[in-house]
Amino acid sequence: MSFANRYLTLAVGCCVCALLLVLSGCEDLQARNAAAESSSASRKLESQVNDLAADNAKLRETLKALQEALGKQVSDRMDKLEEKVIMVSKDLLDKVAKDAEQTRLAATGIVNSARSDYDKELNSVKTTLAGDIQKIREEMKGTMEDLKKFMDNQLRELYPYAYQPRRTGPPDAEAKQ
Amino acid at 113: S
| Phi, psi torsion values for 159, nearest 5 degrees | -125, 70
Distance between CA 162 and CA 21 in Å, rounded? 180
pLDDT tens digits, residue range 90-117?
999 999 999 999 999 999 999 999 999 9
- Please state whether the predicted TM-score (pTM) of the whole model is above 0.75: no
Closest to 34 measured CA to CA, from 48, 44, 24: 24
The HSE-up count of residue 155 (CA atoms within 13 Å, CB side) is: 11
Share of residues in the chain with pLDDT > 70 (%): 81
Distance between CA 114 and CA 132 in Å, rounded? 26
CB atoms within 10 A of CB 155: 14
Average pLDDT (45-69) is 90
Distance between CA 12 and CA 53 in Å, rounded? 15
- Domain boundaries defined on the chain: 3-136
pLDDT tens digits, residue range 124-176?
998 998 889 999 999 999 999 999 989 888 888 887 777 676 655 555 544 45
pLDDT at 144: 94
Average pLDDT (24-29) is 63
The two most distant CA atoms of the chain are separated, in Å, by: 194
